Structure 1
Amino acid sequence: MSKVCLAGLVIASCVVAAVPASADSPSGSDEGFVALFDGQSLDGWKVSEENPDSWKVEDGKLVCEGPRAHLFYVGELAPFKDFHFKAEVMTTPGSNSGIYFHTKYQPSGWPKYGYECQVNITHKDPKKTSSLYSVKNVDDPGLKDNEWYTQEIIVRGKEITLKVNGKVMVQYTEPSDQEAFSDSFERRLGEGTFALQAHDPDSKAYFRNLRVKNL
């Protein structure tokens, strides 16, 4: 084997080693996805001004615990329009959280813009994990607290697909004449960013391996 070929093999091996496969999917299935969270800091993210201490980074995970606060992605990849988003999520008993998309930063309150993908397995709210909140709800996602699951959110045009561990939980087509639900919440597709929710002091949830691919 020539020195040129050997060098090429070494380089290729290094590239493969530098991109580990996701724990929830076979090798190569994450091609084209870009990380939104570096596992070490809140770089690229901005916490709302209310209760910023409700969010922290711990052992490679984003952790929410405390009064209402939202963590918005404000990195250079935003805004997003058509995309495929993946994240690994783990809830604790009785906890409530959420993943907003097509939203935008706001300093306080529940996010007015975009849709919410619910994060809730045993909280009293009947809208459970992978519900398109108050639009198309899921009663039982078949999950357990204290176990990691993979949440996917896919937006193509007016189509929204939500998946848990590869299983489609919600498919929704936004009407072409969609109107805001109320003066408080404008649930319409357009473009925007992601936001993670700290819901209340009794809710603790974890997020890791957040990644996205533009479609």
Structure 2
Amino acid sequence: MILRMKNLAKGIFGILAAMSLSFGAAAFAAAEKSGNWTISGKVVTAPGGALLLSKGASAVLKPELNAGAFKDFEMSFKVRTLNGSTGFAAFHSDAELSKGYKIAIDNSRDSRAWWRKTGSLLGVRNIVKRMANDGEWAEVKAKVAGNLVEIFVNGKQLVEYAEPEEPYRTPENSDMRLGEGAIGVKCASGEGIEIKDFKVRRLKPSAVRAEAEPESADGIIGLHQSDFPAVDYHVHLKGDLDARKAQKQSRKYGINYIVAVNCGKDFPVNNDSLAIEFIERNKSEPYILAMQAEGREWMNLITKPAREKFAYVFTDGMTFEDRDGSRVHLWVPEEVKIKDRQAYMDMIVEKICGVLGEPADIYANATYLPDALSADYAKLWTKERRQKVLDALAKGGMALEISAKYEIPDAEFIKAAKARGIKFTFGSNNGDSNFGKLEYCLKMKRECNIAPEDMYNPTLRQ
């Protein structure tokens, strides 16, 4: 059976289309019923016949009015948000749309919860990149088959969530489970959202179970369930990790990957045209793009107009010229020439403080030490040296990356940064597809009580 919003001639949507009312005109009383749909709240038709739901209004396909509950199905509709309005489409829900799953409708630029954009499967797969613009029509498609939920926005797959047999849910989200029930749409905030071309097609029940990621409170699902942004701000398309594999892995783990390109003197991307070429090649993909600035001459190689096309720029203090004028990459042992350990450490701190005055947004690999010094990390990173870097970080206004790869900075440094109001990012800094799920970052989040508002917002330039 296929239900089509625009073809319900005897239903409430058909009546509304014939009325051709504008927003703010006569509306229907709460809980009116006609045909397959139950309408609640202020609902009118917009020019062109789309259904316009004002704040709090909903349209629900109740099981008792539609030949039974919806279990496995395909659903599609077009939606347009007005002036930052938000809403959701619900499934396996009840008449009040208070249980089951919700697909976010949110294209706003200034939402506090910037990590829940249109296409998010709220609470389990929140999506960071805005794939549709406020005031423009977007197409949303969803498919539920067995334990697998797939969501697409404007043709791009954003969600591929396989619910495990024992999913982790907080007490307040205990009803966020697959089952069966009603389907509906609701406007949650703002002036209203427009819906048109709503279609639902039932599927034969699937006996196949898709492979699911195990879930626990300490894992990535814990971020989603606690409404915390699940973002890896430092991912590279390197080794065997190409764009397609990155998207698949991101959907599997439920981590929003932000893809960064290395830009600098020692790297293939070392001018504006190459940086912009990277952006053009990837801008339609469902991941945000960032620039990693390498070396100390990056500001001269990539101009400000080109840099501002990225969501943000991050850099580190791992490449510099030492006091003898030699170019040093701290991760290359033969380039690290240490005569006096304390003097070399003082030079590293001096270089870091200089880097923190550069026009970047995030400082990565923050307290990294070369192999020759790393065994004495705790001794060399004295209170005085930490203080210098933290003061420079606060003055420069950069956010601080917590590195999953190097497991730095330590909790003491992170807590001191948090006390200064410094924002944070989580980063893997991968070399191929074989990297983890931000384990160290999650540990530091818990240990240092990092809250959603402590995280850097990567969507400000989007």
> What TM bracket, shorter-length normalisation?
0.7 to 0.9
Evaluate the alpha carbon distance shift between residue 179 and residue 78 of structure 1 in structure 2; reply closer, same or farther with a 3 A threshold: farther
1:150 matched to 2:139? The reply is: yes
Evaluate the alpha carbon distance shift between residue 182 and residue 142 of structure 1 in structure 2; reply closer, same or farther with a 3 A threshold: same
- Structure 2: gaps of 5 or more residues: 16-33, 204-462
Aligned residues: 174
> Contact 1:99–1:119 at 8 Å: present in 2 too?
yes
1:209 corresponds to: 197
1:114 corresponds to: 100
- Structure 1: gaps of 5 or more residues: 1-31
Deviation, 1:203, is: 3.5
Structure 1: how far apart are the matches of 2:98 and 2:79? Answer: 23
Deviation, 1:56, is: 2.6
Deviation, 1:62, is: 1.5
Deviation, 1:186, is: 0.8
Q: Deviations over 1:4-23 (max 9, x none)?
A: xxxxxxxxxxxxxxxxxxxx
1:90 corresponds to: 80
Report the 3-state secondary structure (helix = DSSP H, G, I; strand = E; otherwise coil) of the residue aligned with 1:195: strand
Structure 1: how far apart are the matches of 2:155 and 2:197? Answer: 16
1:40 matched to 2:32? The reply is: no
Query: Larger radius of gyration, structure 1 or 2?
Result: 2
Q: TM-score, with normalisation over the residues of structure 1?
A: 0.73
Q: Deviations over 1:34-75 (max 9, x none)?
A: 314524236322234xxx22x233442221113x24321134
Please, which of 143, 148, 168 is the counterpart of residue 159 of structure 1? 148
> Contact 1:70–1:198 at 8 Å: present in 2 too?
yes
> Contact 2:61–2:183 at 8 Å: present in 1 too?
yes
Q: Deviations over 1:62-119 (max 9, x none)?
A: 21113x243211342541111010001111221111100110103xxxx331100000
Structure 1: how far apart are the matches of 2:45 and 2:35? Answer: 11
Please, which of 29, 33, 45 is the counterpart of residue 57 of structure 1? 45
Evaluate the alpha carbon distance shift between residue 199 and residue 168 of structure 1 in structure 2; reply closer, same or farther with a 3 A threshold: same
Query: What amino acid does structure 1 have at the position aligned with 2:14?
Result: Q
Evaluate the alpha carbon distance shift between residue 180 and residue 165 of structure 1 in structure 2; reply closer, same or farther with a 3 A threshold: same
Q: Looking at both structures, which has the greater relative contact order when contacts are Cα pairs under 8 Å and sequence separation is at least 6?
A: 1
Evaluate the alpha carbon distance shift between residue 171 and residue 203 of structure 1 in structure 2; reply closer, same or farther with a 3 A threshold: farther
Q: TM-score, with normalisation over the residues of structure 2?
A: 0.35
Q: How does 1:164-203 map to 2 (within 5 A)?
A: 164-178=153-167, 181-183=170-172, 186-200=175-189, 202-203=190-191
Structure 1: how far apart are the matches of 2:54 and 2:68? Answer: 26
Give the percent of matched residue pairs that are identical in Structure 1 and Structure 2.
Answer: 25
Evaluate the alpha carbon distance shift between residue 77 and residue 88 of structure 1 in structure 2; reply closer, same or farther with a 3 A threshold: farther
Deviation, 1:147, is: 1.3
Deviation, 1:184, is: 6.1
User: RMSD between aligned alpha carbons?
Assistant: 2.1
Deviation, 1:179, is: 5.8
2:95 corresponds to: 105
Query: What amino acid does structure 2 have at the position aligned with 1:35?
Result: R
